[in-house]
């Protein structure tokens, strides 16, 4: 039961955090100047957007959920299972970020998920 | 170069940086941390010494710089590209790790793992043929004040 809670938290917090960071960066606006000083200003500006802090907090929570899950379940289960985050990301991107996830993109995400799971299964 | 081709090219360039800097940072950090003595207890003094010795390692610093490079590339690409485009494409790093393990470290890669790498490359190529940006033209950078006004 605890493992299931950690797993759910890992997928939701990890992916949700990345989506919040994505939302924050859309607020900052498209980066067009790639000089180091300009990039430093972009990072500082991003840190003024609340979505960035929510995202970082959620990603931190996801990281601790991963540590918790690793203390309860085998690595050979945990890492292949995280491939679900790609599907969760596609769904969240569509619903939360309003991105147009075409059937082609869904297919690509599905293939990548299976591929990531196989990479970890093949490692163990 | 058309605007769409330019968008795709800069998106690919940034994803390439993420795919290289992410695993490289992990590798350097792992290598650097293995060279320092393990933490013997949670006593504040031991914890302090552990982190102090970690931060004197050049390899650890290279790892931190590499991971910072990854994070900046990640933020920059997300300033215009879809999350649902960047997230699956960044899985290419698993393929790169397997190739490095095989060619540089001469590790054995199981057929299952090779199949996974091939599927990742195939999946990323399928996603890569979609438009990197589906939510309309990302807003150009604005002043901090204007950003604050529309941050929610």
pLDDT tens digits along B36-50:
887 778 888 888 888
pTM comes to 0.84
Residue written as token pair 């102090």? B52
Contacts of A19 in chain B (CB under 8 A): 83
**Residue B59: C-alpha distances to residues A59, B6, B22 (Å):** 25, 36, 15
Q: Would you call A93 and B83 a contact, using CB atoms and an 8 Å cutoff?
A: yes
Size of interface A-B (CB pairs under 8 A): 180
**Per-residue model confidence (pLDDT) at position A75:** 75
Which of A47, A87, A115 to probe the B interface (max B CBs under 10 A)?
A115
**Per-residue model confidence (pLDDT) at position A79:** 78
Q: Would you call B119 and A94 a contact, using CB atoms and an 8 Å cutoff?
A: no
Q: H or E segment at A76?
A: helix A75-81
Higher pLDDT, B143 or A39: A39
Q: Would you call B139 and A111 a contact, using CB atoms and an 8 Å cutoff?
A: no
Most confident of A69-78, B20-29, B96-105: B20-29
- A30 by DSSP, 3-state: which? strand
CA-to-CA distance for B6 and A113, rounded, in angstroms?
A: 28
Indicate if the pLDDT at residue B146 is higher than 50: no
Report the 3 state secondary structure along chain B.
CCHHHHHHHHHHHHHHHHHHHHHHHHHHHHHHHHCCCCCCCCCHHHHHHHHHHHCCCHHHHHHHHHHHHHHHHHHHHHCCCCHHHHHHHCCHHHHHHHHHHHHCCCCCCCHHHHHHHHHHHHHHHHHHCCCCCCCCCCCECCCHHHHHHCCC
**Per-residue model confidence (pLDDT) at position B3:** 80
User: Could you give the maximum distance between any two Cα atoms of chain A, in Å?
Assistant: 49
Contacts of B119 in chain A (CB under 8 A): 111-112, 114-115, 118
* Nearest-5° Cα angle at A69, A64 to A72: 135
How much is the mean pLDDT over chain B? Answer: 84
Average pLDDT over residues A70-75: 82
Q: How confident is the model at residue A55 (pLDDT cuts 50, 70, 90)?
A: very high
Indicate if the pLDDT at residue A1 is higher than 90: no
Indicate if the pLDDT at residue A37 is higher than 90: yes
Instruction: Write down the domain spans for chain B.
Output: 3-138
**Per-residue model confidence (pLDDT) at position B148:** 43
**Per-residue model confidence (pLDDT) at position A124:** 57
CA-to-CA distance for A124 and A72, rounded, in angstroms?
A: 17
Out of A21, A93, A112, closest to residue B82 by CB? A93
Indicate if the pLDDT at residue A102 is higher than 60: yes
Q: How many Cβ atoms are within 10 Å of B105's Cβ, its own excluded? A: 7
Contacts of A39 in chain B (CB under 8 A): 72, 76
CA-to-CA distance for A113 and B131, rounded, in angstroms?
A: 20
A54 touches chain B (CB under 8 A): no
Average pLDDT over residues B9-31: 90
Q: Would you call A30 and B84 a contact, using CB atoms and an 8 Å cutoff?
A: no
**Per-residue model confidence (pLDDT) at position B134:** 86
Q: Is the dihedral of CA A95, A101, A103, A109 positive or negative?
A: negative
A78 touches chain B (CB under 8 A): no
Contacts of A25 in chain B (CB under 8 A): 75-76, 78-79
Higher pLDDT, A78 or A28: A28
User: What backbone phi and psi angles, to 5 degrees, belong to B140?
Assistant: -65, 165
CA-to-CA distance for A76 and B7, rounded, in angstroms?
A: 38
- A10 by DSSP, 3-state: which? helix
């Amino acid at each position: 039961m605890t493992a299931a809670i950690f797993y759910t938290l890992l997928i939701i917090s990890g992916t949700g955090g990345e989506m919040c960071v994505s939302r924050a960066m859309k607020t900052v606006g498209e980066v067009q100047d790639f000089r180091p000083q300009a990039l430093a200003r972009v990072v500082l500006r991003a840190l003024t957007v609340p979505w960035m802090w929510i995202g970082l907090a959620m990603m931190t929570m996801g990281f601790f959920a991963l540590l918790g899950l690793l203390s309860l379940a085998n690595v050979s289960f945990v890492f292949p299972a995280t491939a679900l985050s790609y599907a969760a990301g596609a769904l969240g991107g569509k619903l939360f970020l309003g991105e147009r996830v075409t059937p082609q993109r869904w297919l690509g995400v599905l293939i990548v998920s299976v591929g990531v799971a196989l990479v970890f299964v093949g490692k163990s | 170069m058309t605007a769409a081709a330019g968008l795709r090219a800069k998106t690919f360039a940034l994803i390439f940086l993420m795919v290289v800097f992410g695993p490289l940072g992990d590798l350097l950090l792992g290598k650097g941390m293995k060279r320092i003595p393990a933490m013997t207890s949670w006593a504040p003094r031991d914890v302090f010494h552990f982190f102090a010795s970690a931060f004197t390692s050049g390899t650890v610093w290279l790892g931190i710089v590499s991971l910072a490079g990854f994070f900046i590339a990640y933020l920059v690409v997300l300033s215009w590209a879809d999350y649902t485009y960047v997230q699956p494409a960044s899985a290419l790093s698993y393929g790169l790790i397997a190739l490095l393990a095989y060619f540089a470290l001469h590790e054995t890669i199981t057929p299952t793992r090779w199949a996974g790498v091939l599927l990742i490359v195939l999946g990323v190529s399928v996603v890569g043929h979609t438009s990197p940006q589906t939510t309309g033209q990302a807003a150009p950078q604005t002043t901090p004040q204007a950003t604050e006004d529309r941050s929610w």
